[in-house]
């Protein structure tokens, strides 16, 4: 099915687009639903669409040559990914798996390229997005060595939120501690303890299968 203009307007990158650009975006987008645990694409697939999470949660991961699974990033509501593969017309570098039932908006390559070549606002968004990604990547490498498990859990959790999209103070993710542990590269037991401590500090509330964050800003900058 074709995406509605309303759906387009709900995305952060649509704020600076004019009417023609928005209509064009809507026409070039489709919405698909993925069951929990299903693969959106495998490493090496040529998925030629720019993809956004409408509802649900997605993880990017791969399996090392030794057979160990490695998760790189999680993407929540409002997150978009795949611009690198679409721009370069390359196969995907990672597996992408739905952690929950997830509704994805997919923009086909011709539409993406048209926006890329015609919309200044769209380019501004892309530039900012790539920049934030780079920052996150560098931070991940740093934290891998420098930060305690608790801080890693805190930051990985904060990255599941799109700060631009949620102006409110209270946000929640449907994610199990098991899944968060995979994202953070910390054992589930440590993740469990870290969450309990963070709750004591008043940064979040633990619910079953769900975490309600009350202070994203502190989580993002969390250090020991």
Size of the site for DNA (CB under 7 A): 15
Which of 70, 164, 206, 217 contacts DNA by CB under 7 A? 206
Interaction between residue 205 and DNA (CB under 7 A):
no
Q: Which is nearer to DNA, 130 or 210 (CB)?
A: 210
Interaction between residue 111 and DNA (CB under 7 A):
no
- Determine the straight-line distance between the first and last CA of the chain, rounded to whole angstroms: 48
Paired with 23 in beta bridges are none
Q: Helices (H), strands (E): how many in the chain? A: 9, 11
| CB hemisphere CA count around 91 (13 angstroms) | 7
Paired with 63 in beta bridges are 69
Q: Which is nearer to DNA, 44 or 202 (CB)?
A: 202
Which of 30, 108, 136, 192 contacts DNA by CB under 7 A? 192
What does the alpha-carbon distance between residue 218 and residue 134 come to, in Å, rounded to a whole number?
21
CB 54 within 8 A of CB 105: yes
Q: Which is nearer to DNA, 29 or 204 (CB)?
A: 204
Q: Is 143 helix (H, G, I), strand (E, B) or coil?
A: helix
Interaction between residue 130 and DNA (CB under 7 A):
no
What does the alpha-carbon distance between residue 89 and residue 47 come to, in Å, rounded to a whole number?
9
Interaction between residue 176 and DNA (CB under 7 A):
yes
Residue 214 token pair? 């009350």
Interaction between residue 189 and DNA (CB under 7 A):
yes
Interaction between residue 29 and DNA (CB under 7 A):
no
Q: Which is nearer to DNA, 55 or 136 (CB)?
A: 55
Interaction between residue 178 and DNA (CB under 7 A):
yes
**Sites of contact with DNA (CB under 7 A):** 176-178, 187-189, 192-193, 195-196, 206-210
């Amino acid at each position: 099915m074709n995406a509605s203009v309303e759906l387009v307007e709900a995305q952060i990158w649509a704020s600076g687009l004019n009417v023609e650009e928005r209509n064009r975006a809507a026409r070039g987008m489709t919405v698909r639903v993925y069951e929990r645990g299903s693969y959106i694409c495998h490493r090496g697939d040529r998925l030629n669409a720019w993809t956004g999470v409408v509802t649900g949660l997605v993880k990017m991961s791969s399996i090392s040559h030794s057979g160990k699974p490695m998760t790189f990033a999680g993407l929540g509501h409002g997150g978009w990914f795949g611009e690198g593969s679409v721009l370069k017309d390359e196969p995907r570098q990672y597996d992408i798996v739905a952690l929950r039932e997830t509704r994805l908006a997919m923009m086909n390559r011709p539409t993406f390229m048209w926006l890329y070549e015609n919309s200044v606002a769209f380019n501004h968004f892309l530039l900012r997005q790539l920049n934030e990604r780079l920052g996150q990547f560098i931070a991940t490498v740093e934290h891998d060595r420098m930060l305690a498990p608790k801080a890693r859990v805190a930051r990985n959790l904060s990255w599941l939120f799109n700060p631009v999209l949620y102006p409110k103070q209270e946000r929640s993710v449907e994610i199990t501690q098991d899944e968060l542990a995979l994202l953070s590269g910390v054992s589930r037991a440590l993740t469990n303890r870290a969450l309990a401590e963070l709750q004591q500090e008043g940064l979040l509330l633990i619910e079953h299968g769900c975490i309600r964050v009350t202070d994203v800003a502190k989580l993002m900058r969390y250090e020991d």
